[in-house]
C-alpha cells in the first residue's frame, strides 16, 4: 500500500460551536516541567477491562513469571484489546480488586510483583512499516492493547477499520485538551511531536484519507511550535483554535474544524471523519514501529495538594496512592481525588486504585482551589445554561423535566444529545447540579426502556405459550376425533359384514344396530331365565334315570321271586324309559339353544361400546374450555398479586383477601381440569380398546 496523495485543504477557517465557557485554565501548574519517569512501584494492579467493550481474556496463571511486554490477556473478540505486563515479575494474584470507577466497584485484576529487572520480552520492530498492509497494522494495534487514551477507552483497532472505510475522507487529531488542569497531551506534543506525526502518517495510510487536520487550542504555544517543526513538509493541516471549553469534545471539534455536525445518535465515521487522541496516535506509532505494547502512559498530576505538580510517565497498574507519594501529596482536610479534569472527571472513592489506559490526569485540588458548590438555589430561568450549552439544548427545561420526572418530555428535548460537559452547571448562578439531574434522568430512561423490553418479552412469551397450549389442545382433540371416527367406521364395517346375511338393513342404519343391541340384551336376560329351566330339566332327567334304574332292579327281583308281576313291571320300565328319553332330549335341546344365543350376543357388544364412545367424544371441547378458564384465572391471580405488591398499606388487606379467594378459584379450576383430563385419558384408552376389538 502506497502513501495516499494528500490534498491540502483549501480552507483553514476555524468555525465556531454554540455556547462554551472559559473556566480558569491552570495549565501552567503542570506543563512547565518535562515528563518524569516515575519508576517501579512495589506492586502493579492490572484490571482486565481498561477499555470499552469486552474484558480481555486471561492468558497467564497465578505464580507465573512474566517479562516486560509479555501478553497477560488476549483481546476477546474485535471489541476488546490485549493487556501486557508493564514490567517483568511474577503474577501473584488474579482476583477482584477495587478499580477506578465513580461507583467504587471492583473488577477482575491481575496483580503483578515486579522483580526489579525490568527485562523486556522479545519485541518485533518493523523498520519499513510503510510497507505493511492496513489489516497488518490493525492487528498490530489490537495486539498492542491500544484503546483510546483520551478518556473513553474505545478500542482503537475498530476505528482503523470502520465499516464504511471508503467514505472516510478526514482524519482529525484531537489535541485540543480543553479540560482545565490537564496537560498530558500538551507535554507529549512538546517532547514527542515526532512520534505523534509519525503515528498520523500511519493512520493516513491505513484509512486512506485525503485530509488530515490537527485541532489544538491556542493556549499551548510550545506544543504548537513543536508540531509546526514536526509537520514541516507534510500536508497535515495544523488548526489553532481559540481556547474555549469544550472544544475538545469530539462533536464540537468536528464542528470547529469542518463545520459539519455528527447527526444525533451517530458516530463521526458516518460523516466520513475519524478522530484520534494525541497519546493514542503516539502509542500506535510505538506499536507499529517498535512492536512496543501499551504498558505506560503520560498522566498529569496536579492540584494544590500536590507539591511536585507535573506530568509523569507511569506504568499501567501503578496504584494511585503510591504515585501520589512520589510527588509529595499533602492530604487536605476535605480530600478529593479527581480522575480526569475538573469539568468531566470523576471523584475516586479509594486512592489505592490503579492507573489505567484512560487515566490522563489525577487532580488533587485544595479546598479553596475548587470550592465545593454552595447549596442549590431556585432556578430563575436566567438562560445562562442555554447560552453555555455546546449541544444547544435548553438545560433549564431539561432540569425542570428531570425534577418533575417527566422523562418523556426530557427525551423530546433531546436529553440524550447532552454530552455531560458540565458547562451548564458551571455557569448556573443558582449552583444547581444540572449534570447530575441529567445523568439521573438518562439512567431512569434507560432503566424504563429495559423494563419495557423485559415486560414486552414476557408478554410475547406468555402469548406464545398460550397459543402453543391452545394449538396442542386443538391438535389432541382433532386426533381423538379422528381416532374415534376411524374406530366407529371400522366397527360399522365389521358389523355390516357380520350382518350382511341375516339382516343387511342393520349395516346401513345405526339405529337398527342399537335396536339389535337392545334386543340382544333382552334376549340375554331371557336366556338367564332359561338357564334355570335347563338345570331343572337336567334334574328331571337325572331323577327319571334314577327311577328307571330302580325299576330295572325291581324287575330283576321280580323275575326271580314273583313271575306274575314281571309283565307289569316290564311295561312300567318301558314307560319310564320313554320318560327318561323325553327328559334327555328336552334338556339337550334347551342347552343347544342357549349356546347359540350367547354367541350371538357377544358379537353385538363391541358395536355398543363404539356407539358410546362417539357420544363421549362430544365432551372434549369442554376440556379445552376448562384449560382456558384455568389460564384466565391464573393470569388474573398474577395481576392481583402484582397489584398487591404495589398497593398502599391500607389496600393491602383487601387485596390479600381477593388474592386468596382467587387462589382458591384457581385451585378449583385446576382440579376440575385434572379430573376432566383423567376422564379424557380413560375414555381415549377405552376408545382405543374399543377400536381394536
Partner 1 sequence: MALLSISSPHSKGPQRTSLMMRWVVAMTIPGLIAQTIFFGWGNLHNVLWCSLVALASEAIILKIRQRPIAFYLNDYSALVTGVLLGLALPPFAPWWVSFIATAFAIIFAKHLYGGMGYNPFNPAMVGYALVLVSFPVAMTTNWATPLNLLEQGASIADTFAKIWSETALPDAFTGATPLDTYKHEIAHSLSDEVFQAPVFGRFYALGWEWVNLAFLAGGLVLLALKVIPWQTPVGVLLGLAIPAMILGWDADQSAPFMLHMLAGATMLSAFFIATDPVTSCTTARGRLVFGLGVGMFAYIIRRYGSYPDAFAFAVLLMNFAAPLIDVYTQPRTYGHTKAQRGPKAKERP
Nearer to partner 1, 81 or 423 (CB): 423
Query: Rounded to a whole number, what is the largest CA-CA distance in the chain?
Result: 173
- Cα 432 vs. chain centroid, distance in angstroms? 37
362 vs 626, beta carbon nearer partner 1:
362
Minimal distance in Å, beta carbon 357 to partner 1?
A: 20
Q: Which CB sits closer to partner 1, 20 or 47?
A: 20
Those residues with Cβ within 8 angstroms of residue 672's Cβ, 6 or more apart along the chain or in another chain = 626, 630
Does residue 406 sit in helix, strand or coil? coil
Q: For every residue of 243-265, which 3-state class applies, written as one string?
A: CCECCCCHHHHHHHHHCCCCCCC
Sequence-separated (6 or more) residues with CB below 8 Å from residue 222: 31, 186, 190
What are the backbone angles phi and psi of residue 643, rounded to the nearest 5°?
-60, -40
Residue closer to partner 1 (CB basis): 103 or 596 = 103
Distance CA 442, CA 439 (A): 5
Nearer to partner 1, 212 or 343 (CB): 343
* β-strand partners of 661: none
The smaller minimum CB distance to partner 1, of residues 394 and 555, is found at: 394
Q: Where are the beta strands (DSSP E) in 21-158?
A: 36-37, 44-47, 57-58, 65-66, 71-74, 83-84, 89-98, 106-114
> Which residue's CB is nearer to partner 1, number 346 or number 462?
346
CB of 249 to partner 1, least distance (A): 10
Q: Which is nearer to partner 1, 264 or 466 (CB)?
A: 264
Q: What are phi and psi of 395, to 5 degrees?
A: -55, -40
Residue 423 · residue 388 · CB < 8 Å: yes
Closest separation in Å from C-beta 683 to partner 1: 59
> What letter does residue 275 receive in the DSSP assignment?
E
| Chain centre distance of CA 58 | 24
The upper half-sphere exposure of residue 297, i.e. CA atoms within 13 Å in the direction of its Cβ, equals 35
**Residues written for the chain:** 693
Choice between 427 and 569, CB closer to partner 1? 427
From the CB of 448, what's the least distance to partner 1, in Å?
Answer: 17
Minimum gap (Å) between residue 445 Cβ and partner 1: 14
CB of 463 to partner 1, least distance (A): 28
Contact between 607 and 474 under an 8 Å Cβ cutoff? The reply is no
Measured in Å, how far apart are the chain's first and last C-alpha atoms?
Answer: 85
- Please state the closest distance from residue 435 (CB atom) to partner 1, in A: 6
Q: How far is the CB of 335 from partner 1 (least distance, A)?
A: 5
Nearer to partner 1, 266 or 639 (CB): 266
Nearest to 347 by CA among 329, 332, 356, 335: 335
How far is residue 171's CA from residue 274's CA, in Å, rounded to a whole number? 5
Residue 346 beta carbon to partner 1: minimum distance, rounded to whole angstroms: 6
At its nearest, how many Å lie between partner 1 and the CB of residue 277? 19
Nearer to partner 1, 202 or 361 (CB): 361
320 SS3 class: helix
Report the candidate in 491, 486, 473, 490 with the shortest Cα–Cα distance to residue 680: 473
Output phi, psi for 329, to 5 deg.
-75, 130
Report the SS3 class of residue 563. helix
DSSP 8-state secondary structure symbol assigned to residue 270: G
* Contact between residue 89 and residue 69 where contact means Cβ atoms under 8 Å apart: no
Contact 33, 238 (CB under 8 A): no
Is 383 or 502 the residue whose CB approaches partner 1 more closely? 383
Residues 6+ apart with CB under 8 A from 448: 407
**Closest distance of CB 3 from partner 1, Å:** 33
CB of 266 to partner 1, least distance (A): 8
Dihedral angle computed from the Cα positions of residues 393, 397, 402 and 403, in that order, rounded to the nearest 10 degrees: 150
Amino acid at each position: 500500500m502506497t502513501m495516499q496523495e494528500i490534498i491540502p485543504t483549501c480552507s483553514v477557517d476555524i468555525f465556531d460551536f454554540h455556547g462554551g465557557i472559559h473556566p480558569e485554565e491552570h495549565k501552567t501548574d503542570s506543563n512547565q516541567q518535562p515528563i518524569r519517569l516515575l519508576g517501579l512501584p512495589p506492586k502493579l494492579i492490572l484490571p482486565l477491562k481498561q477499555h470499552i467493550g469486552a474484558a480481555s481474556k486471561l492468558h497467564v496463571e497465578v505464580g507465573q513469571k512474566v517479562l516486560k511486554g509479555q501478553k497477560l490477556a488476549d483481546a476477546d473478540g474485535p471489541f476488546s484489546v490485549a493487556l501486557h505486563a508493564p514490567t517483568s515479575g511474577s503474577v501473584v494474584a488474579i482476583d477482584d480488586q477495587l478499580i477506578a470507577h465513580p461507583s467504587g466497584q471492583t473488577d477482575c485484576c491481575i496483580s503483578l510483583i515486579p522483580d526489579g529487572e525490568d527485562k523486556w520480552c522479545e519485541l518485533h520492530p518493523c523498520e519499513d512499516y510503510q510497507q505493511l498492509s492496513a489489516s497488518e497494522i490493525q492487528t498490530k494495534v489490537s495486539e498492542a492493547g491500544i484503546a483510546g487514551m483520551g478518556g473513553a477507552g474505545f478500542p482503537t483497532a475498530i476505528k482503523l477499520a470502520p465499516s464504511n472505510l471508503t467514505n472516510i475522507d478526514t482524519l482529525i487529531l484531537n489535541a485540543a485538551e480543553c479540560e482545565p488542569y490537564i496537560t498530558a497531551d500538551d507535554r507529549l506534543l512538546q517532547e514527542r511531536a515526532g512520534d505523534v506525526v509519525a503515528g498520523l502518517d500511519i493512520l493516513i495510510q491505513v484509512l486512506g484519507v485525503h485530509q488530515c487536520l490537527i485541532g489544538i487550542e491556542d493556549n499551548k504555544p510550545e506544543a504548537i511550535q513543536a508540531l509546526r517543526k514536526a509537520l514541516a513538509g507534510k500536508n497535515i493541516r495544523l488548526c489553532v483554535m481559540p481556547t474555549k471549553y469544550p472544544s475538545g469534545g469530539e462533536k464540537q471539534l468536528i464542528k470547529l474544524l469542518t463545520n459539519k455536525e455528527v447527526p444525533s445518535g451517530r458516530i463521526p465515521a458516518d460523516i466520513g471523519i475519524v478522530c484520534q487522541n494525541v497519546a493514542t496516535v503516539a502509542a500506535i506509532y510505538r506499536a507499529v514501529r517498535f512492536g512496543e505494547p501499551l504498558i505506560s502512559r503520560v498522566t498529569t498530576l496536579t492540584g494544590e495538594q500536590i507539591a511536585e505538580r507535573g506530568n509523569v510517565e507511569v506504568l499501567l497498574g501503578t496504584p494511585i496512592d503510591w504515585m501520589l507519594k512520589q510527588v509529595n501529596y499533602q492530604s487536605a482536610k476535605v480530600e478529593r481525588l479527581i480522575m480526569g479534569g475538573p469539568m468531566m472527571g470523576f471523584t475516586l472513592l479509594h486512592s489505592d486504585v490503579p492507573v489505567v489506559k484512560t487515566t490522563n490526569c489525577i487532580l488533587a485540588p485544595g479546598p479553596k482551589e475548587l470550592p465545593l458548590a454552595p447549596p442549590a438555589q431556585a432556578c430563575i430561568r436566567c438562560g445562562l445554561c442555554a447560552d453555555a450549552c455546546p449541544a444547544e439544548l435548553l438545560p433549564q427545561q431539561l432540569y425542570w423535566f428531570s425534577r418533575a420526572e417527566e422523562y418523556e418530555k426530557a427525551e423530546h428535548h433531546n436529553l440524550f444529545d447532552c454530552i455531560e460537559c458540565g458547562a451548564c452547571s458551571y455557569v448556573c448562578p443558582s449552583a444547581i447540579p444540572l449534570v447530575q439531574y441529567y445523568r439521573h434522568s438518562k439512567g431512569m430512561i434507560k432503566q424504563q426502556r429495559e423494563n419495557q423490553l423485559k415486560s414486552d418479552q414476557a408478554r410475547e412469551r406468555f402469548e406464545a405459550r398460550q397459543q402453543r397450549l391452545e394449538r396442542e389442545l386443538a391438535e389432541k382433540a382433532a386426533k381423538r376425533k379422528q381416532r374415534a371416527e376411524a374406530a366407529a367406521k371400522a366397527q360399522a364395517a365389521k358389523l355390516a359384514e357380520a350382518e350382511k346375511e341375516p339382516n343387511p338393513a342393520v349395516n346401513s342404519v345405526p339405529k337398527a344396530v342399537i335396536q339389535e343391541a337392545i334386543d340382544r340384551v333382552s334376549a340375554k336376560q331371557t336366556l338367564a331365565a332359561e338357564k334355570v329351566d335347563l338345570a331343572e330339566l337336567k334334574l328331571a332327567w337325572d331323577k327319571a334315570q334314577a327311577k328307571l334304574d330302580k325299576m330295572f332292579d325291581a324287575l330283576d327281583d321280580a323275575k326271580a321271586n314273583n313271575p306274575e308281576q314281571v309283565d307289569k313291571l316290564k311295561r312300567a320300565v318301558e314307560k319310564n324309559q320313554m320318560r327318561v328319553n323325553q327328559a334327555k332330549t328336552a334338556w339337550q335341546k334347551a342347552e343347544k339353544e342357549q349356546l347359540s344365543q350367547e354367541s350371538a350376543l357377544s358379537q353385538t357388544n363391541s358395536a355398543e361400546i363404539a356407539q358410546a364412545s362417539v357420544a363421549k367424544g362430544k365432551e372434549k371441547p369442554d376440556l379445552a374450555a376448562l384449560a382456558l378458564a384455568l389460564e384466565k384465572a391464573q393470569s388474573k391471580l398474577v395481576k392481583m398479586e402484582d397489584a398487591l405488591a404495589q398497593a398502599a398499606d391500607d389496600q393491602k388487606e383487601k387485596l390479600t383477601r381477593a388474592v386468596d379467594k382467587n387462589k382458591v378459584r384457581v385451585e378449583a379450576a385446576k382440579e376440575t381440569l385434572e379430573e376432566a383430563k383423567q376422564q379424557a385419558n380413560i375414555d381415549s384408552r377405552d376408545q382405543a380398546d374399543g377400536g381394536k376389538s
